[in-house]
Each structure stands twice: as C-alpha cells, then as structure tokens.
C-alpha cells in the first residue's frame, strides 16, 4: 500500500514537471509565431542587421548597443536596458515609450502575447 502511494506521488510530481516544461515550450512556440510581425525587419542571422538591428542576445542588452547599426538618436540617448519590463513597454507601443525611434509603430498590448514574445526573444542567443 505504501509503495503504491509513493509511486503515485512520484508519478504526479514528474507529471507536473513535464507540464511546466511544456508551458515554456508552448510560450516560446507562440512567441516565434508572433515574431513574424518582427522578422521583416529583424534578421535572425547575428552577423546581419536588416532594416532593424539583430535581436540575437537582445534580452539584458543595453539599447542601441550594436556597433554596426545606425540607431536613432532617440534610442541611443534612451539609457535603456532591455529588461522584460522595458521590452514589454516597447512592444506595447515603441514610439510612445521612446519618442523619435526609427522603428515603425508596433502595438502588442495583450499581456499573454507580450509574455510569449519575450519568452521567444530569450531563446535568441
Ligand atoms: C518596419 C521594421 C520593423 C519592424 C516590423 C520591427 N522592428 Fe524593431 N526595430 C526596427 C528599427 C529600425 C530599430 C532601431 C530603432 C531606432 O534606432 O530607434 C528597431 C529596434 C528594435 C529593438 C531595440 C534593439 C536594440 O539593439 O536596442 C528591439 C528590442 C526591437 N526592435 C524589437 C522588435 C520586435 C519584438 C518587433 C515585432 C513585434 C519589431 N521590433 C518589429 C525596425 C522594426
């Protein structure tokens, strides 16, 4: 009886660990889908700046930090670091957050969608 119970317990613990991992993978996949709104301008090739700067490693990076990209003065002078919170504000309305930015207006205000996109950006290393 006791063995049966602990087996059951072990099973339910590993089940919830799988559920968490699935959640993460699900969020990243949903974020990848949303990134279609960005990929016209942001290349996933680290050596390449397209119309926008490369976003490889952007999470935690200082704003306007890539040497070979012609950023706007607005972004260069923003003093921002791309934390989760700042990325959230940026994708919710980049030109309200940093007036004068060269990036065309994006507006993703759904918090879950913001979470997905940020989860995906974190995979870009
Ligand atoms: C129409 C082209 C375009 C689209 C679409 C676009 N971006 Fe941008 N992005 C830019 C440009 C241009 C810059 C540089 C802005 C500046 O210098 O003011 C930029 C800058 C950024 C930065 C700051 C990078 C750095 O090195 O500081 C982030 C983060 C970013 N974009 C995320 C996104 C995300 C996420 C999306 C999709 C929701 C997106 N962008 C869609 C053109 C675009």
Mean of pLDDT over the chain? 89
Q: How many residues does the chain have?
A: 125
CATH of the domain at 105: 1.10.760.10
Q: How far apart are CA 112 and CA 30, in angstroms?
A: 10
Question: Residue 69: which domain range?
Answer: 2-123
pTM above 0.75, yes or no: yes
pLDDT in tens, 7-64: 666 656 666 677 777 899 999 999 999 999 999 999 888 777 788 999 999 999 999 9
pLDDT at 104: 95
- Verify whether ligand 1 is closer than 6 Å to residue 56 (CB atom): no
**11 or 107: whose pLDDT is higher?**
107
Q: 47: which 2 tokens?
A: 């050596």
- Residue among 48, 51, 53, 104 whose CB has most ligand 1 atoms within 8 A, to mutate: 53
| Sole residue written with tokens 């942001």 | 42
For the chain, what is the domain count? 1
Residue whose CA is at the smallest distance from ligand 1 atom 5: 38
Query: What phi and psi, each to the nearest 5 degrees, are found at residue 13?
Result: -65, -50
Residue whose CA is at the smallest distance from ligand 1 atom 3: 41
Q: Which residues pair with 81 in a beta bridge?
A: 62
């Amino acid at each position: 009886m006791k063995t049966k119970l602990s087996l059951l317990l072990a099973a339910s613990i590993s089940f919830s660990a799988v559920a968490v991992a699935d959640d993460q993978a699900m969020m990243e996949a949903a974020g990848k889908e949303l990134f279609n709104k960005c990929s016209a301008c942001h290349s996933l090739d680290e050596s390449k700046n397209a119309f926008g700067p490369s976003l490889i490693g952007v999470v935690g990076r200082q704003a306007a930090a890539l040497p070979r990209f012609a950023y706007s003065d607005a972004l260069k002078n923003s003093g921002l670091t791309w934390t989760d919170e700042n990325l959230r504000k940026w994708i919710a309305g980049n030109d309200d957050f940093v007036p004068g930015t060269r990036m065309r207006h994006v507006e993703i205000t759904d918090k879950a969608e913001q979470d997905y996109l940020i989860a995906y950006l974190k995979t870009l290393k």
